[in-house]
Amino acid sequence: MPSSPSLLPTPRSEGCTLAGALSVAAAVSDGLTVVHGPAGCAHHHVSLLLTTLLDQPGARMPTLLSDDLCEQEVIFGGEGTLARALDDAVSRSPGSIAVLSTCVAEAIGDDCEAVVTRVPDSLPVVVIPVGGFLGGGFLEGERTALQAYGRLASRLPVSERSDEPVIALVGEKNLEFEADTHADELGRLLGLLDLEVGLRFIREAPTSELGLLPGADLLVLREPALGPVADRLPVRPGTPLIDGFPVGLSATIEFLRAVGAAMNLDADSACEIEIAHQETVLARFAGLAGSRVRLPAGAGWLAELADALDLVPAPDGVPLPVPEPAPVGTAGISRLLSRWRRAL
Amino acid sequence: MKQIALYGKGGIGKSTTSANLSAALGESGRSVLQVGCDPKHDSTRMLMHGEPLPTVLELVRERGATGVALEDVVRTGYAGVRCVEAGGPEPGIGCAGRGIIATFQLLEERGALEADVIVYDVLGDVVCGGFAMPMREGYAEEVYLVTSGELMSLYAANNIAKAIARLAERPRCRCRLAGVILNAKGIEREEELVTAFATAIGSRLVAAIPRDRVVQLAELHRQTVIEYAPDSTQAGVYRQLADDLLRTTDRAIPVPLTQDALESLAFAHAPL
Ligand SMILES: Nc1ncnc2c1ncn2[C@@H]1O[C@H](COP(=O)(O)OP(=O)(O)OP(=O)(O)O)[C@@H](O)[C@H]1O
Ligand code: SF4
Ligand SMILES: [Mg+2]
Q: What is the pLDDT of residues A275-318, one digit of tens each?
A: 999 999 999 999 999 999 998 888 899 999 999 999 999 999 99
Whether A167-245 and A17-155 are alike in CATH topology: the answer is yes
Are B134 and B144 contacting, i.e. CB atoms less than 8 angstroms apart? no
Q: Which of 3.40.50.1000, 2.40.30.260, 3.40.50.1980, 3.40.50.2300 would CATH assign to domain A17-155?
A: 3.40.50.1980
Q: Which residue ranges make up each domain of chain A?
A: 17-155, 167-245, 272-343
Q: Which numbered atom of ligand 2 lies nearest the CA of A44? A: 5
Please give the backbone phi and psi of residue B236, each rounded to the nearest 5 degrees, phi first: -60, -40
- B105 part of contact set with chain A, CB < 8 Å: no
Report pTM. 0.81
A105 in Cβ contact with B94 (< 8 Å): no
Instruction: Single out the residue of B125, B123, B120, B95 nearest to residue B108, CA to CA.
Output: B120
What is the band of B17 on the pLDDT scale with cuts at 50, 70, 90? very high
Please provide the CATH number assigned to the domain covering A167-245.
3.40.50.1980
Specify burial of residue A225 (Cβ count, 10 A radius: 0-12, 13-18, 19+).
Answer: middle
Going from the N-terminus, what domains does chain B have, and what CATH number goes with each?
2-268 (3.40.50.300)
pLDDT tens digit at each of 344 positions of chain A: 334 444 444 446 678 899 999 999 999 999 999 999 999 999 888 888 888 878 777 788 899 999 999 989 999 999 999 999 999 999 999 999 999 999 999 888 899 999 999 999 999 999 999 887 777 789 999 999 999 999 999 999 876 777 889 999 999 999 888 899 999 999 999 999 999 999 999 999 999 999 999 999 999 999 999 999 999 999 999 999 999 999 999 999 999 999 999 999 999 999 999 999 999 999 999 999 999 999 888 889 999 999 999 999 999 999 998 988 899 999 999 999 999 999 88
B95 vs A75, A79, A111: nearest CB: A75
Q: In this complex, do B95 and A72 lie within 8 Å of one another by their Cβ atoms?
A: no
Could A74 and B94 be called an inter-chain contact, meaning their C-beta atoms sit closer than 8 Å?
yes
CA angle B4, B10, B11 (to 5 degrees): 100
One-letter amino acid at A254 equals E
Helices (H), A264-299: 268-284
Q: Write the pLDDT tens digit of every residue in B200-256.
A: 999 999 999 999 999 999 999 999 999 999 999 999 999 999 999 999 888 899 999
The sign of the torsion formed by the CA atoms of A178, A181, A187, A191 equals negative
Smallest CA-to-CA distance from B56 within B10, B9, B95, B89 is with B89
- Whether the complex's predicted ipTM surpasses the cut of 0.85: no
pLDDT recorded at residue A10: 46
Active site (annotated) includes residue B162: no
Residue B108's nearest CA partner among B84, B87, B89, B131 is B84
pLDDT in tens, B91-102: 878 888 888 888
Q: Inspect the interface and report whether the beta carbons of B93 and A71 lie closer than 8 Å.
A: no
As beta bridge partners, residue B120 has B5, B35
Q: For the sheet with B142-147, list strands across it.
A: B75-76, B82-85, B32-37, B117-123, B2-8, B142-147, B176-183, B205-209
Contacts of B95 in chain A (CB under 8 A): 74-75, 107-108
Q: Is B14 a catalytic residue?
A: yes
Distance between CA atoms of residues A246 and A239, nearest Å: 19
Atom of ligand 2 nearest to the CA of A38: 4
Nearest protein Cα to ligand 1, atom 16 = B13
- Note whether A160 and A167 are within 8 A (CB): no
Active site residue B40: yes
A contacts of B99 (beta carbons < 8 Å):
75-76
Ligand 2 atom nearest the C-alpha of A17 is 8
Give A40-71 pLDDT, tens digit per residue: 999 888 888 888 878 777 788 899 999 999 98
Instruction: Kindly determine whether residue B93 and residue A77, on different chains, have CB atoms separated by under 8 Å.
Output: yes
- In chain A, the DSSP E strands lie at 31-36, 63-66, 96-101, 125-128, 167-170, 197-201, 218-221, 241-242, 292-294, 312-313, 318-319
Nearest CA in chain A to B58: A76
Q: With an 8 Å Cβ cutoff, is B89 touching chain A?
A: yes
- What SS3 state is found at A18? helix
Mutate to test the interface with A, among B95, B100, B104, B109 (most CBs of A within 10 A): B95
Q: Tell whether omega for the bond before A202 is within 30 degrees of 0, i.e. cis.
A: yes
Length in residues, chain A? 344
Q: Do B61 and A71 touch (CB under 8 A)?
A: no
